[in-house]
Structure 1
């Protein structure tokens, strides 16, 4: 699918999806619900030119979603901090960012709000930053003036991140000696991996292994090192899914897709924001792995042998045939990693995700 057809196809899908909120299900406050992956999955389908009937997929998907409620009180520029993390203010945040994005260049708005939201990267199980990342990819992927619906998608992503904002105490920057591979393997797992992610994160903050795992990674010494370091984290987390994906097939996808979202936003950010972005991305990886990955990985080599070695086209096609939004997003990320590294196990990981995650 050409970039022109990508530009033409996405706005209509975004328009339809923006009638719905970023979560559905959950309690009366919207807590512990499921995330609306529609905009992110559609972006992958269209950009990749996957053999999926987008309208049919979307028609099936929106039946499970909850409508976006109306606004209650305007968020004023000087008073935004008080509204961070207030889920009920989600419609107000959406209206706020829509206004911001009509008044200024989207890259200026992003550069202002990225450092404000970055400490809360685990917001909505990391889906705030992931949705923003997919929107930024759309905005970066065309030479045309941004479509209104695409700017609205960035507004919805930023609003979700702000409304579900959650800082984790004990977060520190890397200061150790371990390589990314060593540090990922050494992440201390939470002893009690039960309950909703919010409950797990509460326990993680009190866990001595949390800060130690963050600190163990060898730091980047300059902003110039950040893109390659982020790529390494994404590649390793996607490959590690083969060994730990069975622990929580859906949640552990985000150990790769969250840092990948940061990686795609990086080029439009001021370079002084790159090192903090790497720190936050690593924190997101550690949080997901610590709270969901099993302490002992599955027999990695044995899992690889179960699958015929796929081609790049096979991996994407099988994700398209599967149709689940998490499989689609993970395949998109893992194939990018394969394109960088040539490691065929990354393609095998996409097949493994398709086996572990139920078809819709």
Structure 2
């Protein structure tokens, strides 16, 4: 499928009710949260990103309709499924990661929010749900966080439900505050982690081979069968289940630094990770999921917010380690030297023109990860006093990856 929609195919607004038209798309409850097994329905993520980039309501509606019919993977969305379990306060957590009863989970959280209010629901449920933030390859967390960003109740409810549905723990119980990982901030600690892995590459590759093949303790290796079909999600789940001393070590700055500083450090860190392999489909998700996690944490007490950043760091390393090929420490260090403290002149015509070109291209894209990337990167560029690293990241579009052979070798999950 062609991943770019030409400018001639884009439509303009025909009336002034842009917000109402976008809200109607986000309120749509007619499709399942996944398709062809475990592939996440990203349609509403794209709506939020396109709205944030000031795309016309007509263009956003056009994108939504096309995605329903055929995603960039070549499959259309699937209709809403009936639920096997009637979800209650008592049984909700028993469904963590069981990939069942999504519609009933939505009804449950909708009722909880109506009775107690959104903030109270987040405060109650995030301690249990946030450790599973990498589930569905971070898309459940993205769904909730981006729903909070836009402020749409249906998308928020779906995000909470999806976090239960797809939960895969990063095992925060293994976290230990440690000086094993040096560094005064996120990027310095990332460089230190990569350097330590390079000191014994044979050991790291042996660890990676074990987790990629599921050759870990049987109790740890238990997961929903659909994850094995994914390949990527299975590797990440096994990496997190097995753990690694460097993954589970909590650097001191995560404990002592102000939260606002930590969020900015992490945003810079994941931008550097992305620029180490420009356009990398996997690493792009660290950018968009971190945005989601900060949106969630902003609604939580500070103690819970601190747990969110610790979970992100642990899960981020799990994602990076799972592939067995983390970028070189020298690459990270060189990029840090290149981009640290570099800012754009926001009034310069060439900077303005570059952003306009990137935004126009993102709005025209059928691959929804690209408007999401540009939306987050521009927000960070503005927030940080026009740091150039975020504009550089925004210019590095990704492409839809090929599905692995396991998609054809194993039967897709069609359960309720």
- Structure of greater Rg: 2
Equivalent residue, structure 2, for 1:48: 53
Q: Does 1:167 align with 2:178?
A: no
The residue correspondences of 1:38-187 to structure 2 (distance < 5 A) are: 38-50=43-55, 53-63=59-69, 64-139=76-151, 150-169=152-171, 171-176=174-179, 177-178=182-183, 179-185=185-191, 186-187=193-194
Aligned length: 330
Equivalent residue, structure 1, for 2:39: 34
Q: Which residue, out of 215, 218, 232, partners 2:252? A: 218
TM-superposition CA deviations, 1:104-123 (whole Å, max 9, x none): 31222122111120111111
C-alpha displacement at 1:207, in angstroms?
Answer: 5.4
Unaligned runs of 5+ residues in structure 1 are 27-32, 140-149
Give the Cα separation in 1 of the matches to 2:241 and 2:59. 46
CA contact (8 A) 2:105 2:161 kept: yes
C-alpha displacement at 1:200, in angstroms?
Answer: 0.8
Q: Give secondary structure in 2 for the equivalent of 1:66.
A: coil
> TM-score scaled to structure 2, two decimals?
0.71
> TM-score scaled to structure 1, two decimals?
0.81
Give the Cα separation in 2 of the matches to 1:218 and 1:7. 44
C-alpha displacement at 1:171, in angstroms?
Answer: 4.1
Q: RCO (CA 8 Å, sep 6+): is it higher in 1 or 2?
A: 2
Unaligned runs of 5+ residues in structure 2 are 1-12, 70-75, 198-203, 214-229, 339-349, 402-416
Distance 1:88 1:42, change over 3 A: same
TM-superposition CA deviations, 1:146-190 (whole Å, max 9, x none): xxxx31211111101001111134741553332210222325576
C-alpha displacement at 1:292, in angstroms?
Answer: 4.0
The residue correspondences of 1:1-360 to structure 2 (distance < 5 A) are: 7-16=19-28, 18-26=29-37, 33-50=38-55, 53-63=59-69, 64-139=76-151, 150-169=152-171, 171-176=174-179, 177-178=182-183, 179-185=185-191, 186-187=193-194, 188=197, 191-192=208-209, 196-205=231-240, 210-215=244-249, 217-222=251-256, 225-245=258-278, 249-292=280-323, 294-296=325-327, 311-339=354-382, 340-354=384-398, 356-357=399-400
TM-superposition CA deviations, 1:330-350 (whole Å, max 9, x none): 111222222215232322222
Give me the CA root mean square deviation.
3.0
Give the Cα separation in 1 of the matches to 2:88 and 2:104. 10
